[in-house]
Amino acid sequence: MAVIKATDADFQSALSSKPLTIVKYYADWCGSCKLIAPKFRRMSEDPRFSGVQFLEVNAEENEQARHAAGVNNLPFFAGFRGMALAEGVATSREESILEIIEHLQA
């Protein structure tokens, strides 16, 4: 599955369309966000995570989506079960992102 770009206009409908979602919040100026992007894309294509939707949101341009996860630093990753935030963390460590995905699937 590919990484889907979401905005305030379609964020809620994207969350409600799948039971499990991982969201990467980023900014264009964020170097760490750029470094983690290829790893996040690879995770989205991993068959182990076929039941998880992968979204990315520009945190600077989408205030409502940013507030839905309590984003306080970038890059920030948030796991959602339906419309409910399950957990979120500011990190650029692949292991931390994988933990969120595994917790969602548990």
Distance of CA 95 to the CA centre of its chain: 14
Instruction: Say whether 16 is catalytic.
Output: no
Distance CA 23, CA 76 (A): 8
Distance CA 85, CA 5 (A): 18
Nearest CA among 8, 5, 3, 4 for reference residue 68: 8
Instruction: Say whether 30 is catalytic.
Output: yes
The answer to whether 72 touches 47, Cβ cutoff 8 Å, is no
Q: Choosing from 14, 30, 36, 57, which is the catalytic residue?
A: 30
Q: Choosing from 3, 14, 22, 33, which is the catalytic residue?
A: 33
> Where in the sequence numbering do the catalytic residues fall?
30, 33
